[in-house]
Chain A
Amino acid sequence: MNLIKLEENVISDNIENFKSQIDKFFSESKFNMTIDFSKINLICSSGLGVLISALKKSRINEGDIKLIIPESNAEITQIFNITRLNTVFTIYNSQWETD
């Protein structure tokens, strides 16, 4: 599985790092990937922007981006609910659900 496990909140200087992890898969023509938000509790609007443009790129190439957001992660869950991005991404509760 092409998995990106986020270790640090996606804000300011970490956004570039987040983007380069996604771009690395794209450069290897891997358009299906899973991004794990379990360990973080904040993503800013620029980070969401990176995620949306990656989703568009992957779907054009017949891939998809799936997200792992445990229900217990209230902060990230709320960010996706309030922006309604929970309606455009497939979201899983844990890694084993994605298999």
Chain B
Amino acid sequence: MNLNGKNILIASNNLKLINYLTGYILQNNAIPFTANDLNQSFDIIKNESIDLIISEAKYSSERRTESEDLLKFINKNFLFIPVVIILKQYEINLIKHSLKNGATSFFIEPFDIDDLISEINKIKPIRVNFDNRMKILNGSSLRYSVEINSSAVLVGAVGFNISEIFKILHPEKTDAVNSIMLAANEIILNAIIHGNKNDESKKVNITALIESNRFQMIVTDEGNGFDYQNLPDPTDSQFIFKDSGRGIYLTKMYFDEINFYLGGSRVELIKNFK
């Protein structure tokens, strides 16, 4: 990512850090925005088209940091803005958490600004194909489709996104939202882990068709499928103490139909409404 003309948000209340970064951002023909707290950050992200966030990992409570909440907000709203985390000191748990929540990279103070810039140059800004994500069909149904990289941190965002669109057509069917969130967590996660074997370069395609009397979701991965006809019964006494193998079983409880295609690398879920 070239800094030229980019909108960059600095989420920090450390004046020294802000001055240091804004000076450099301005020199590189980019536009700096600064936010002292989380709410200010959210406002700026909602209203400006931010290309990059540099956030200080400041604790907002004993267990959470503001940068963590910021990352969750970005994931949840499907924004995919790269976030660089700045830490005051080396804290392995904080780094692990940040990266797990989708942080692009991290720097520990004091750091060399040139290293930061060269890291920013390496960032590929878009992780998701945004084209035609949502289409309104004949006024009463909605089609949503998205292609994501095989990264587990995106799963919650996809589920949340589909749920939000679902609520536009079906504000009264609050219980169906659980089905959608669960389907995302089981079927998309299976596609990432078992289908694409966590290979981040492989894609998962998700299409949801929301109609007045039906919800359909199709998840396709790039893997070789699986033996969906011989799934072990997780309620069998021999498997009941296993800590995995309940995903599809649980999904069946929430949907009227589950169909497998392409040897299992494409899964279709259908839920009918009365």
Q: How far apart are the CA atoms of A44 and B179 in the complex, in Å?
A: 10
B89, CB-defined interface residue at 8 Å: no
| Complex contact B182–A85 (CB within 8 A) | no
**Beta-carbon contact of A49 and B100 below 8 Å:** no
Q: Which residue of chain B is the closest to A82 with respect to CB atoms?
A: B253
**Which residues of the partner chain A approach B235 to less than 8 Å between Cβ atoms?**
82-84
B185 touches A46 (CB 8 A): yes
Contact: B182 with A52, CB < 8 Å? no
The stretch of B17-25, B49-57, B134-142, B238-246 in contact with A is B238-246
B:74-115 near A, CB below 8 Å: 75, 100-101
Asked if B38 is an interface residue, CB under 8 A from chain A, the answer is no
Task: Name the residue on B nearest A88 (C-beta).
Answer: B240
Whether A52 and B243, one on each chain, are in contact in the complex, defined by CB atoms closer than 8 angstroms, is yes
Neighbour of A44 across the interface among B75, B240, B242, B250, CB < 8 A? B250
Which residues on the B side are within 8 Å of A2 (C-beta)?
Answer: none
| Contacts A83-B235, A83-B246; A13 near B156 (Cβ below 8 A) | yes
Number of B residues whose C-beta is below 8 Å from A? 28
Main SS of the interface on chain B?
A: helix
User: Does A83 contact B250, Cβ atoms closer than 8 Å?
Assistant: yes
Residues on the B chain within 8 Å of A73, using CB = none
Flag if A85 contacts B240 (CB, 8 Å).
yes
Tell me, in angstroms, the Cα distance from A79 to B247 when the chains sit together. 12
Known A44-B250, A45-B250, A83-B246: A9·B241 in contact at CB below 8 Å: no
Q: Determine whether the beta carbon of B186 is less than 8 Å from that of A45.
A: yes
Per-residue contact bits, chain A 58-98, to B (CB 8 Å; 1 contact, 0 not): 00000000000000000100110011110110000000000
Contact residues in A for B156 (Cβ distance below 8 Å)? 11-13
Residues of chain A within 8 A of B218, CB atoms compared: none
Contact bitstring A10-26, B, C-beta under 8 A = 1, else 0:
01110010000000000
Q: Within the complex, what minimum Cβ distance (angstroms) separates B237 from chain A?
A: 9
Contact between A50 and B243, CB atoms less than 8 A apart: yes
Assembled-state Cα–Cα distance A40/B241 (Å): 23
Which residues does chain B contribute within 8 Å of A48, judged by CB atoms? 243, 246, 250
Complex alpha-carbon distance, A44 and B241, angstroms: 16
| Bound CA–CA A42/B181 (angstroms) | 9
Given contacts A12-B159, A41-B178, A46-B185, contact A56 B246 (CB under 8 A): no
A45 contacts B178, C-beta separation under 8 Å: no
Pull 19 A–B residue pairs with CB atoms less than 8 Å apart, ordered by A.
A9-B178, A11-B181, A11-B182, A11-B185, A12-B181, A12-B185, A13-B101, A13-B153, A13-B156, A41-B178, A42-B181, A45-B185, A45-B249, A45-B250, A46-B185, A78-B253, A79-B250, A83-B246, A83-B249
Seen from chain B, the residues whose Cβ lies within 8 Å of a Cβ on chain A are 72, 75, 100-101, 153, 155-156, 159, 178, 181-182, 184-186, 189, 234-235, 240-247, 249-250, 253
Using a CB–CB cutoff of 8 Å, the interface residues on chain A facing chain B are 9, 11-13, 16, 41-42, 44-46, 48-50, 52-53, 55-56, 75, 78-79, 82-85, 87-88
